[in-house]
Amino acid sequence: MKTGTLARSVAALALTAGMGQAETVVLSAYSGIFEENYMKAVVEPFMEAHPEIEVEFYGMPNSAQMLGTLRAQKDAPQIDVMIMDVSVAKAATDEGLFAPLDASVTGHIDDLYPQAKVDGVNAVGVTFDNLVLLYNTDKVTDKPASWEALWDPQYKGQVSIPAVPDIQGTTLTILANRLAGGESYLDGMEPGLAKLMELAPNVQTWEPRPDVYQPISSGTAAIGIGWNARAQVYADKSDGKLGVVLPAEGSGFQINVIGLVQDAPAGDAAKTFIDYALSPEVQARFTETMFYAPTNQKAAPLISDAAISRTAAGAMDKMVPINWLEVATIRDGITEQWRRRIIPLSR
Amino acid sequence: MTTAIALTRSRRRFSDHQVAIALLLPIALINVVGFMLPIFNLARFSFNRATTGGGIENVLTLENWTGLLRDPFYLELILNSIWISLGVTLCALVLSYPIALYLHRSSGTWRTFLTVLVISPLLTSAVVRTYGWIAILSDEGPVVGAIKSVGLTPPPLMFNINGVFIGLTEILMPYMILALMAGFGRLDPKVEEAARTLGATPWQCFRRVILPLTAPGIALGCLLCFVLAVSSFITPKLMGGGRVFLLATEIYDQAIVTLNWPLASTLSILVLIIFGAALVAYSAVLKRLD
């Protein structure tokens, strides 16, 4: 053990002695580009501000795997804090895997946007992301302004859409439903499904791999849909090849929530981390780094205009309300319709 | 010396049978913990009920199984998986048989060199090879370009069933070739020579001598390729463009995306049943060959 680490451990031990606190918080969230940026913008500054607490980042590729891990560790949890998709967090809550998250955990709860607090979920929004239009700047010379660009016949065989059950496909269905004059998704999705049937012949792949951003950056596909935060990061790395637009008709949110695992071994240290992650300054910093919109209303004024304009934070009123827990109840039906009526119409 | 042996014998407290059991016990235990228990768990999940949003209700119900058999989408999915796997197996067999036969007949360094060539694709992961096929078969790739240059309109080769067929066949060919070669042991060149000397035409020789002698290899190769094709997931996922629904890709979607573990378990058990049927067919074929 290095002397520095030793000194730190001793200091941590001294600080936490008698308080029954563990000094390591295990945080689980998405691996890859999310991990890279979250470490930089949140975890590392947290450890500097709280030298007595060590945060271990345990990355997993998707929320399903996180839920599976929580289930497997139910009797002896090894993860303290989890960041995952809100609808999966609902299942975790129902199975008693998340401890209640209220003002006793973090005082920032009252400052969160209403969308960040979902009834029946023991976790609160930590990032907002939204569906955007992606295009290859060589193949699409006029910057598209509307979702309708996907239906443009000149992009036949060039459109990349992650199909349902991926929630990017679900979000597109809800948006298409509105484009086609449908009201709320709860009144049925017929107009949207009919509209997507017209889109099908344009589609190159319903299963873009490794993700939707890479084939559009490289020009394998011309236009498609994806999540804003990742799109913005990849756009910066694409040498100007990947264009990102939040269309005029608005978009829908995907919500990642942060939750305290039931019987988390880290105890109060885990609560300290959750409080930190939801604070306006930290929310603002993560938006500057990865372009997720903040969930804390007090964060927006702290973010530069340049970063704000690349998130949905400046266009909260344009966001189509989507209650993901309601959508979960109709998701099987949407999937069935896609598979029977929409996907077979593509080449 | 004699005293020593007598001593050892008198000390031997365990029979051969007991020793055999003791030696088998560790691997049996590992199998029970590492294989039987998870399968049992999977089977149990298939009788649970999935709730909205990925929850699992711990009840005993046949819903998943009856739902599967009643839903035409899943029936089609099961049939699709079986016929695509059979088709891929047949393509791999037709393409691999001549290669395996040639390899069996060649000798020395040449044989070693060719064998290494056949095995070398296995050194690269299926993911990498699939991406290679995507580059070759995509609309801007060399194959489509070549077909277009002679004035023909190529059928779409990528992101549909054609792509899955081509990709899977190539990826499974090394397994087929190795299985065929393993089964070619009984094929002695002298037998062929004898058939030819006795007046058999090359075709008669192949039909009446070579084919029957290589049949065990064919059966083994087909079993291996079929099982691998039914369970293959990466290639259909990458090359099917979301249009080709197979058992393995559906299990992934239900387990990872929709979080319907009971349905995913039901489909997994179904795949195991299909494997069982394939094994039964293989044993029947072997018995007939003997």
d(CA B26, CA B3): 34
Domain count, chain A: 2
- The angle that helices B126-137 and B142-149 make with each other, rounded to 10 degrees, is 20
- What pLDDT score was predicted for residue B135? 87
For residue B160, which residues of chain A lie inside 8 Å, CB to CB? 347
| Residue in A closest to B162 by C-alpha | A347
The separation between CA A109 and the C-alpha centre of its own chain, rounded to angstroms, equals 19
CA angle B180, B185, B187 (to 5 degrees): 95
Burial code (b: 16+ CB inside 10 Å, e: under 16) for A13-22 equals eeebeeeebb
**Cα distance between the two ends of chain A:** 61
d(CA A283, CA A278): 6
Distance of residue B64 Cα from the nearest chain A Cα, in angstroms: 14
d(CA A168, CA A334): 13
Tokens describing residue A256 = 């990642």
User: How are beta strands A251-260 and A81-85 bridged, if at all?
Assistant: antiparallel
Q: From the CB of residue A200, how many other CB atoms can be counted at a distance below 10 Å?
A: 18
Cβ–Cβ of B51/A67 closer than 8 Å?
no
- The angle that helices B37-45 and B261-289 make with each other, rounded to 10 degrees, is 120
DSSP at A95 = T
Size of interface A-B (CB pairs under 8 A): 68
> Both A121 and A133 in a single domain?
no
Nearest by CB: A204 against B159, B240, B256? B159
d(CA B247, CA B268): 8
> Both A196 and A109 in a single domain?
no
Tens of pLDDT, residue by residue over A271-283, are 999 999 999 999 9
Q: From the CB of residue A50, how many other CB atoms can be counted at a distance below 10 Å?
A: 18
Distance of residue A67 Cα from the nearest chain B Cα, in angstroms: 9
Expressed as residue numbers, the domain containing A90 is: 3-127+255-314
CB of A54 closer than 8 Å to CB of A25: yes
pTM beyond 0.90: the answer is: no
**pLDDT more than 70, % of chain B:** 96
DSSP at A170 = H
Q: What is the DSSP string of chain B?
A: -HHHHHHHHHH--S-HHHHHHHHHHHHHHHHIIIIIHHHHHHHHHTTSEEETTTEEE-----HHHHHHHH-HHHHHHHHHHHHHHHHHHHHHHHHHHHHHHHHHH--HHHHHHHHHHHHGGGGS-HHHHHHHHHHHHSTTSHHHHHHHHTT--PPP-SSSHHHHHHHHHHHHHHHHHHHHHHHGGG--HHHHHHHHHTT--HHHHIIIIIHHHHHHHHHHHHHHHHHHHHH--HHHHHHSTT----HHHHHHIIIIIS--HHHHHHHHHHHHHHHHHHHHHHHHHHHHH-
For residue A64, which residues of chain B lie inside 8 Å, CB to CB? 54, 255-257, 259
**pLDDT more than 90, % of chain B:** 70
d(CA A228, CA A33): 13
> Both A218 and A339 in a single domain?
yes
Cβ–Cβ of A331/B258 closer than 8 Å?
yes
User: What is the domain partition of chain B in residue ranges?
Assistant: 69-289
Cβ–Cβ of A204/B51 closer than 8 Å?
no
Cβ–Cβ of A340/B259 closer than 8 Å?
no
d(CA A251, CA A315): 10
DSSP at A68 = H
Place of tokens 């094929």: B187
d(CA B250, CA B263): 10
The answer to whether B237 faces chain A, any CB pair under 8 Å, is yes
For residue A335, which residues of chain B lie inside 8 Å, CB to CB? 258
Cβ–Cβ of A64/B139 closer than 8 Å?
no
* pLDDT bucket at B141, cuts 50 / 70 / 90: confident
> Both A86 and A24 in a single domain?
yes
Tens of pLDDT, residue by residue over B18-76, are 999 999 999 999 999 999 999 999 999 999 998 877 788 889 999 999 999 898 999 99
> Both A206 and A285 in a single domain?
no
Residue of A97, A207, A337, A346 to mutate when probing chain B, most B C-beta within 10 A: A207
**Cα distance between the two ends of chain B:** 49
CB of A255 closer than 8 Å to CB of A268: no
Read off φ and ψ for residue B233, nearest 5 degrees.
-135, -40
Per-residue pLDDT of chain A (347 residues; tens, 9 = 90+): 444 555 555 555 444 444 444 489 999 999 999 999 999 999 999 999 999 999 999 999 989 889 999 999 999 999 999 999 998 999 999 999 999 999 999 999 999 999 999 999 999 999 999 999 999 999 999 999 999 999 999 999 999 999 998 999 999 999 999 999 998 888 889 999 999 999 999 999 999 988 999 999 999 899 999 999 999 999 999 999 999 999 999 999 999 999 999 999 998 999 999 999 999 999 999 999 999 999 999 999 999 999 999 998 888 888 998 999 899 889 888 999 999 999 999 86
Q: Look up the CATH number of the domain holding residue A332.
A: 3.40.190.10
CA angle A175, A179, A184 (to 5 degrees): 60
ipTM confidence = 0.80
pLDDT at B7 over 60: no
- What pLDDT score was predicted for residue B5? 54
DSSP at A211 = -
- What pLDDT score was predicted for residue A15? 47
What are A183's strand-pairing partners? none
The answer to whether B87 faces chain A, any CB pair under 8 Å, is no
> Both A110 and A144 in a single domain?
no
> Both A154 and A174 in a single domain?
yes
pLDDT at B220 over 60: yes
The answer to whether B128 faces chain A, any CB pair under 8 Å, is no
Architecture of the domain defined by B69-289? Orthogonal Bundle (1.10)
Tens of pLDDT, residue by residue over A183-222, are 888 888 999 999 999 999 999 999 998 899 999 999 989 9
> Both A336 and A240 in a single domain?
yes
CB of A202 closer than 8 Å to CB of A150: yes
Residue of A94, A254, A341 to mutate when probing chain B, most B C-beta within 10 A: A94
Q: What is the DSSP string of B5-19?
A: HHHHHHH--S-HHHH
Burial environment of residue B14 by CB neighbours within 10 A (0 to 12, 13 to 18, 19 or more): exposed
For residue B53, which residues of chain A lie inside 8 Å, CB to CB? 87-88, 90-91, 94, 325, 328
Tens of pLDDT, residue by residue over B111-136, are 999 999 999 999 999 889 998 998 89
> Both A155 and A97 in a single domain?
no
For residue A166, which residues of chain B lie inside 8 Å, CB to CB? 257
d(CA A199, CA A347): 11
Read off φ and ψ for residue B59, nearest 5 degrees.
-125, 175
- What pLDDT score was predicted for residue A22? 47
Tens of pLDDT, residue by residue over B73-106, are 999 999 999 999 999 999 999 999 999 999 998 9
Distance of residue A102 Cα from the nearest chain B Cα, in angstroms: 23
The answer to whether B256 faces chain A, any CB pair under 8 Å, is yes
- The angle that helices B261-289 and B63-70 make with each other, rounded to 10 degrees, is 70
Read off φ and ψ for residue B124, nearest 5 degrees.
-100, 150
Nearest by CB: A340 against B73, B140, B241? B73
Tokens describing residue A220 = 């394998």
